[in-house]
Each structure stands twice: as structure tokens, then as C-alpha cells.
Structure 1
Amino acid sequence: MLFQKCHSAPPYKCFAEYAGTTDGETGTKKSSGKYKHLPLLSVIEAARAGVADAMEQILQHHDAYINKLCLRTMVDENGQPHKQVDPYIKGRLQSKLMQAFTKK
């Protein structure tokens, strides 16, 4: 149905309409719920150039996903299992993300 609605417009215009943005800004996947705003293209470009503030925004955007990847089950002295974030693995993943962004 989307193609029929705006078949005469360029594909990026159709996508912008579908995504709920028409001004070239990045939007959200979902207006409510657990989805967050995507980083702006200018922030991504600045992070690729090595700007520390932009890289921090990128890391904050990916923080929940990185935390999910770093969950480990720890057993306390009573034998009860608990899930917690492994800080070593989290640091490694953040480092790899920063390296991937600044790679030329």
C-alpha cells in the first residue's frame, strides 16, 4: 500500500513519510514504547570524525543493547542466581564500537 500511495515521489520521500519524518531528520521506529530516537546524521558524522561528545551520544544510544549483551548470571553465597552486567565485557564492547566508528 505504501508504494501505491506515493509511487511518483522519490524513494527517500516515501521512506520519510513512512517513518513519520519529512524534514530529513531521523525519527523513531515507534512513537511510544521502548524505541528511542535514532541519532542524527550530523551526530554520526561527528562521531566518525572523533568528536568526544558525539561518540558519547552514540554510546548512550546503544547502552541498553550493550547491557543486554553483557548480562551474566552470577550466583550469590546463598546459591541464588542473579543477572548482572559484566563491566569488563561492557568496556570491551564499547571500545570496539568506538573503534568501528572511527575506522577510516
Structure 2
Amino acid sequence: MERIQKCPRFSIICSAVDGDEIAMEKILNHYNAYISKACLRPCYDEYGNMRIVVDMDLKGRVRTAIIKAILNFELEIK
């Protein structure tokens, strides 16, 4: 059976927007697999064999961009 991923709860998102580090980490952990998959790059070893690896520098920049976007996000509650 396929596992269904739910979005982070609204209360977690609100806390992250307010700057709560724990809530921010929960959101980043929720999207960790997606971020890792988006940061895959080919890497060649000394024998010329290619492997697909996660570019950790790129992953760090993506995580930083997500944190900035969350902190700049404006919630409009009606």
C-alpha cells in the first residue's frame, strides 16, 4: 500500500512563520526527501565510474532559501 504524505499542520506553519526553530525543522524534515531528490548530481570516481549523489552544498542552499521564504511568508487569517 502506498504511503500518503500529508502537508504540515497549519499550526506548525504558523509557528515557523513566527520564527520557531523547532517548527521550521519539522517543515524541513517533512520535505527532506523531496529536497534530496532535487539535489541529485552525477559524480565520477577515480576509475571513471559514475554514481548519483546528493550535492550537499546545493541542498544547504535550497534549505536556506526555504527558511528565508518561510520567514518572509505573510499569513492572512480571515
TM-score of the superposed pair, with normalisation by structure 1: 0.66
**Residue-by-residue CA offset, 1:6-36 (whole Å, 9 max, x unaligned):** xxxxxxxxxxxxxxxxxxxxxxxxxx42432
In the alignment, residue 79 of structure 1 is paired with which amino acid? G
Quote the sequence identity (%). 37
Q: Tell me which of 42, 45, 66 is aligned to 1:73.
A: 42
Q: Which residue matches 2:14?
A: 45
TM-score of the superposed pair, with normalisation by structure 2: 0.86
Higher RCO structure (Cα 8 Å, ≥6 apart): 2
Task: Please list every run of at least 4 consecutive aligned residues from structure 1 whose deviation after the TM superposition is greater than 6 angstroms.
Answer: none
1-structure distance, mates of 2:49, 2:6: 37
Q: Which residue matches 1:54?
A: 23
Q: Which has the larger radius of gyration?
A: 1
In the alignment, structure 2 segments of 5+ residues that lack a partner are none
